[in-house]
Amino acid sequence: MTYDDDNNAAGSELDKDLLPLNILLHCRTVVEGKSFLTTGVMTHVEGELFEVEVHEYEQFELGETVKLTIYSPAGIQSMSSVVFAKYEGAIALLQPPDLSKRFKERREHPRVEIAGNAHIVQVLKDSGEVLPLNQTAELIIQDISISGISFSGKYEPHFAAKSKLRANVHIGIGFSCELEIIRSDRQEDGVLCGAKMHVLEPEMLRPLRALILRQQVEKHAKTRRDLGKKRIFNG
């Protein structure tokens, strides 16, 4: 067995000891702030955010550090968090950095739908050769995560699976990245691709993560607004 095999085996054994993160979903959750304490229900646990449904959501301040006590089927779980947003009967909280030491999540980085475009600027050959591209057609971004992206556009041979490309992405913020095409689906009007993404400028990871978090919050807030309207309509 190689060194890498030993590491992978150790990682697999470690994963077996971790609780699935969704075990916290729908659990009674006590939120304790600096001057207020209340009990709610955990309604979302994926994508670097917790969402706790609480009637007194307006009592908490954005950026406030709080203590969470979650009464889960696997026992009482306590942790600190920070209030990231509040809306329509709920607060969104940042998951603590060490959460991955206690829980495992199905998807490492969540994807969010987002408006934007991209241009392929280079094709990266396995030999190390770099082929520049000029005047490539605009690609429409479908969704994005910290490490992945989906886009659609005019089909080109370099969109075949396993192709490696360099691109410029614009989604309200702009950055350069390298892509590896994982999925390439031909369609009547073009192609739909899914790719692994590596952001080339480390300083752009923080604004990208913040943008993804804001998109998540907007989606959750809209879902709760729509649910409230439906309840009112149904009487």
For residues 51 and 120, state if they share a domain.
no
In a domain, 231, yes or no: no
Domain that holds residue 99: 3-104
Instruction: Kindly state whether residues 93 and 121 are assigned to the same domain.
Output: no
In a domain, 41, yes or no: yes
Residues 12 and 98 occupy one common structural domain = yes
Question: CB within 8 A of 184, min separation 6: which ones?
Answer: 159, 160, 161, 191, 192, 193
140 shares a domain with 70: no
Please report whether residue 216 resides in a domain.
no
Tokens of 174: 């702009």
Q: Could you give the number of structural domains in the chain?
A: 2
> Do the beta carbons of residue 123 and residue 158 sit within 8 Å?
yes
Distance CA 144, CA 171 (A): 10
Domain shared by 100 and 116, yes or no: no
Provide the CATH number for the domain around residue 168: 2.40.10.220
Question: Among 116, 109, 176, 122, which Cα is nearest to 152's?
Answer: 116
Map residue 46 onto helix, strand or coil. coil
Report if residue 219 sits inside a domain.
no
- Per-residue pLDDT, 176: 97
pLDDT in tens for each of the 235 residues of the chain? 443 444 444 444 445 678 899 999 999 999 999 999 999 999 999 878 999 999 999 999 999 999 999 999 989 999 999 999 999 899 999 999 888 888 887 656 788 999 999 999 999 998 889 999 987 889 999 999 999 999 999 999 999 999 999 999 999 999 999 999 999 999 988 999 999 999 999 999 999 999 999 999 998 888 888 876 655 545 5
Count Cα neighbours of 177 within 13 Å in the Cβ-side half-sphere.
27
Question: Are residues 80 and 120 both part of a single domain?
Answer: no
Rounded Cα distance between 93 and 40, Å, is 13
Q: Whole-prediction pTM value?
A: 0.79
Check: CB of residue 177 under 8 Å from CB of residue 166. Answer: yes
| Domain assignment of residue 185, yes or no | yes
* Domain assignment present for 87: yes
Residues 125 and 95 in one domain: no
Whether 123 and 78 share a structural domain: no
Q: Is residue 225 part of a domain?
A: no
